[in-house]
Amino acid sequence: MNAKSQAEAGEVRLDVSNVYKIFSDNPKPALDMLNAGATKDEIFKKLGVTVGVKDASFQVRAGEIFVIMGLSGSGKSTMIRLLNRLIEPSAGKIVFDGRDLVQMSRKELIDVRRKDMSMVFQSFALMPHLTALDNAAFGLEIAGVPKPKRHEAAMEALEQVGLGQYHGRYPREMSGGMQQRVGLARALANNPTIMLMDEAFSALDPLIRTEMQDELLRLQRESKRTIIFISHDLDEAMRIGDRIAIMEGGSIVQVGTPFEILRNPADDYVRSFFRNVDVSRVLRAGDVARFHEENTVMRVPGVLQPALEQLNEGNHEYGYVRDHEHKYQGTVSRSSLERAITEEGQPRFIHAFLPDVDPVHAEAPLHDVMRTVASTECPVPVVDDDNKYVGVISPSTLLKTLDREG
């Protein structure tokens, strides 16, 4: 992980404020009508111009996959092209790392595109006469990077996507999935601060598409890049998105995590999108885990009495032990602590840990942990990649999550 691709958790990387796109040489009349309350259809009927994006505002945090989705014509592909000014905004601000892209000169914008932004399109857009290595290095070549240096970066990117051994192949010698991996490697090669992916996997058959989603999630676990991903596919959005923005008629209707949107859809349009979703297959354990400070026990070697008193005071039967780095150590109960304290010799937490209480990973699909939650004597602990304690899932929490009408 590097400083360029990773910032402090929660830091805003991209701030989009009141952005409009009117497809007209003179957008002011349409903007005036919109501000007066006119609809897209009314504007088209009167002025003959199309409103592509209407008053869009959202923030993208460092290190997240932010999915923008909607039906055909909702404005999602227009939106992503506004973010790097492949399409010029009619109004609004697009602030990237403190700089308003809308106010940048052409030279400044080109510099940002070369150094900080990469884009992956639906079409693979590979040069047929170039090898995988040279295709992956193409953006760096345009930027004037010397051949040895760009080949080194491109080779590293190809290795990241599992194509290092195929660096000498031409596009015609590769499958669709391999070609799209080359496209992804090209976007990674210049180590961008932010990646824009426009329906990047929609041209692939379902099996390869799933493999590419897995690949993206694997890369994200390793490097935590900031990614804006356009999709019309709900399953894809729910599977890869940390947060999702739903678009309708050029407007952002709702922004939230998959869990937030499932539980509290903003309107009937969003509700209809998610009506038939099997939440157990798209939500992850981390989405529904609940953290309670009062039953989270800090491990102090040889000191068990404070842990027991903490559980007694809060009337909690179970406690979840973590160390000073917040890494999960084990699960205890009031009775197991009492037994360990009364044993001869130095009392130790290891003697109080309950057997057969294994943590589940925060990224595990909810469907895969349901049996574990149902069969474990206590709420099941959830941990992240670093074994840090996230929270617990109880049977009641699980049932409330699955009961979407509740």
- pLDDT over 90 (residue 357): yes
pLDDT at 53: 95
26-32-38 Cα angle (round to 5):
115
Number of other residues whose CB lies within 10 A of the CB of residue 267 = 11
Q: Which CATH number fits domain 286-405: 3.40.50.300, 3.10.580.10, 3.40.109.10, 3.30.70.20?
A: 3.10.580.10
- Percent of the chain's residues with pLDDT above 70: 96
Whole-structure pTM value: 0.76
Mean pLDDT of 22-48: 92
Mean pLDDT of 200-228: 82
Please, are residues 288 and 362 in contact by the beta-carbon 8 Å criterion? no
Task: Indicate the DSSP class of residue 241.
Answer: -
- pLDDT over 90 (residue 223): no
In a 13 Å sphere around the CA of 240, the CA atoms on its Cβ side amount to 34
Pick the most confident of 109-123, 174-188, 255-269, 320-334.
320-334
Give the strand pairing for 380-383 and 360-361: parallel
* pLDDT tens per residue across span 284-308: 899 889 998 888 988 877 788 999 9
* pLDDT tens per residue across span 119-154: 887 776 788 899 999 999 888 888 788 888 989 989
67 contacts: CB under 8 Å, gap ≥ 6: 228, 229, 230, 231, 236, 237, 240, 241, 243, 244, 245
pLDDT at 404: 59
pLDDT at 5: 40
Give the least confident one: 133-147, 236-250, 347-361. 133-147
- pLDDT over 60 (residue 7): no
Homologous superfamily of 12-284 in CATH? P-loop containing nucleotide triphosphate hydrolases (3.40.50.300)
Going by pLDDT thresholds of 50, 70 and 90, the confidence category of residue 258 is: confident
* pLDDT tens per residue across span 53-64: 999 999 999 989
| Domain boundaries of the chain, sorted by first residue | 12-284, 286-405
The whole-angstrom distance between residue 296's C-alpha and the CA centroid of its chain comes to 28
pLDDT at 9: 52
pLDDT at 406: 46
**Hey, which residues does 295 pair with through a beta bridge?**
none
